[in-house]
């Protein structure tokens, strides 16, 4: 919510997520050093790192892959 349009930058999720994690959700493997962790989601990672615009671009690219692969499949000879 602090940087909704442009995010924190590519590859920065591991370094900036710790302050936003609630203390009740911390586990034994939680870290504040940026030495691990990711969003574990192909949708949330771009949203956190690249913001809303990066998220839309990724969704567009994923959609184009499905559309063009579907069209290619339809046009292929069987």
The pLDDT tens digits of the residues spanning 10-61 come to: 777 777 776 777 777 666 656 665 556 666 777 777 777 888 888 898 889 9
- What is the predicted pLDDT for the residue at 39? 65
Cα 28 to chain centroid distance, Å, stands at 24
Cα first-last separation, the chain: 49
- pLDDT tier at 74 (50, 70, 90 boundaries)? very high
DSSP codes joined into one string, 9-30: -TT-HHHHSGGGS-GGG--TT-
- What is the predicted pLDDT for the residue at 68? 96
Domain boundary assignment for the chain = 13-75
pTM, two decimals, is: 0.57
CB 35 within 8 A of CB 74: no
């Amino acid at each position: 919510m602090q940087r909704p349009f442009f995010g924190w930058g590519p590859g920065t999720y591991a370094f900036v997520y710790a302050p936003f994690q609630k203390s009740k959700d911390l586990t034994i493997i939680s870290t504040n050093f940026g030495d691990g962790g990711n969003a574990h989601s192909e949708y949330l990672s771009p949203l956190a790192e690249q913001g809303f615009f990066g998220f839309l671009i990724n969704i567009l690219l994923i959609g184009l892959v499905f559309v063009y692969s579907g069209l290619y499949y339809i046009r292929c000879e069987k």
